Amino acid sequence: MKNIITGAGFTGIVIANILAENGDDVTIIEKRNHIGGNSYDYTDEETGIHVHKYGAHIFHTNSDKVWNYLKKFSEWSDYSHRVNAVINGEGVNIPFNLNSIKKCFPPELAEKYTKKLLETYGKDAKVPILELSKTEDIDLKNLADFIYKKVFEGYTVKQWGLKPEQIDMSVTARVPVFVSYDNSYFQDKYQGIPKNGYTKMFENMLKHKNIKVILNKTFNEFSKENDIEGARIIYTGSIDEFFDYKYGVLPYRSLSFETEVQNKEYYQDVAVTNYPSDNDYTRIVEHKRFLAEKSDKTVITKEYSHQFELNKNDRYYPIKNEENERIYNKYLQDAKNTENLYFKGRLGSYKYYNMDQAVLEAIDFAENIIK
Ligand code: UDP
């Protein structure tokens, strides 16, 4: 069967690969001038450092299925992600954990908070900030107020234009308070970065005689120029765009980036520094840390968050709330009434997927249709 996949990000590429391996013909259309979606990376000419063009992408998963699948296309560096937030001028570990407490409070108070957290939630517990804030214990409440103010409030207002309690709880719960001395950002069974970059891995996935990649083309342009009758259409762009916005425009948050070479070996202590209180940008990424690349210079990216505006900037984060869900479901119903039409991926599903969730959805979908 002929397959037309729109979007050459993680989702589109995984589906293309599995269908092609099964003997199906796949055309994958991408409106940008490169593959990889927002996981795309490139080598900076001046320094030789791999740069994550659309923000830091650190792969992490607990799924053997996802990990074993991706390992076929790349070796992986065993990078363990570290993030600091600047609190009162100092870098403090995020997720906010027992080391962060030590750094932010005088020894006696730190000890009291640590003891109470361990007694109340247990070692290695992950407590979302909005849950910790509900505590009736006066000490834990003081701690929760501090973390809310210094880590979550300002950052979330910059990132979402809303306060933590105004967005879906699952969003801030991605970065819970961690009752542990483990400083890693993720605790998944597998984490890392493709050794030669994401883009190289994607090239390997698309290297198949049954796959044709067309860049610089939208689905609309392609469908006007080609006969798509009878083809299976897999669309990984935003579902409202496919249906010409007939039920309204789905809201998203967008990002912009300022990337610069700095004339020093390292710019900051860890790969990502969050700025909950200071500056207009939300965070700074230092790219050489991901693959432990050597250079006497360093490449950094400042990341800014904006409202998504149609035809002005790109979609990054779906905004989960009841109203948006309702609009999405109207579109989805139309899709279900159309034969051989599927919507997948972060944009197609309108879900705040991590890369591994997108890959798992894509593998399951592709395996299911070739059955
Ligand atoms: N967050 C925050 N302060 C931080 C880190 C995260 O307030 O220092 C909140 C913020 O609302 C953010 C959410 O937690 O959007 C999820 O953070 P994550 O690092 O998972 O975001 P991503 O890397 O996907 O942009």
Q: Check pLDDT > 90 for residue 1.
A: no
Is residue 240, in this structure, part of any structural domain at all?
yes
| Residues 101, 150 contacting (CB under 8 angstroms) | no
What range does the domain containing 169 cover? 92-178
pTM across the whole model: 0.97
Question: Are 71 and 24 part of one and the same domain?
Answer: yes
Out of 87, 159, 270, 281, mutate this one to test ligand 1's pocket (max ligand atoms within 8 Å of CB): namely 159
What is the 175 CA–ligand 1 centroid distance (Å)? 6
pLDDT per residue over 333-354, tens digit each? 999 999 999 999 999 999 999 9
Residues 174, 323, single domain; the answer is no
Q: Is residue 256 part of a domain?
A: no
- Pair 155, 109 in one domain: yes
Decide if 210 is inside a domain: yes
Q: Which of 153, 178, 203 is the last residue of a domain?
A: 178
Give burial (CB, 10 Å; 0-12/13-18/19+) of 20.
buried
301 inside domain: no
Q: Mutation test of ligand 1: which of 39, 155, 316 has the most ligand atoms closer than 8 Å to its C-beta?
A: 155
Pocket flag, ligand 1, residue 20 (CB < 6 Å): no
Same domain, 199 and 239: yes
d(CA 251, CA 307): 8
CA-proximal residue: ligand 1, atom 21 (nearest): 174
Same domain, 231 and 324: yes
∠ Cα 9 316 259 (to 5°): 90
Picking from 191, 174, 76, 68, the residue whose alpha carbon sits closest to that of residue 126 is 174
Does residue 63 have a pLDDT over 90?
yes
Does residue 314 belong to any structural domain of this protein?
A: no
Task: Give the atom of ligand 1 at the shortest distance from the alpha carbon of 85.
Answer: 8
* Residues recorded for the chain: 371
Whether 225 maps to a domain, the answer reads yes
Within 8 A by CB and 6+ apart from 359, the residues are: 10, 11, 14, 61, 66, 69, 70
Residue nearest to atom 6 of ligand 1 (CA): 175
Q: How confident is the model at residue 58 (pLDDT cuts 50, 70, 90)?
A: very high
- The verdict on the CB of residue 271 being under 6 Å from ligand 1 is no
Residue 305 within any structural domain of the chain: no
Residue 172 CB less than 6 A away from ligand 1: yes
52 shares its domain with 168: no
CATH number at residue 6: 3.40.50.720
* 218 and 335 inside one domain: yes
> In this predicted model, what pLDDT tens digit does every residue of 188-222 receive, in sequence order?
999 999 999 999 999 999 999 999 999 999 999 99
**Is residue 257 domain-resident?**
no
For residue 262, report the distance from its CA to the centre of ligand 1, in Å.
Answer: 26
Total count of domains within the chain: 2
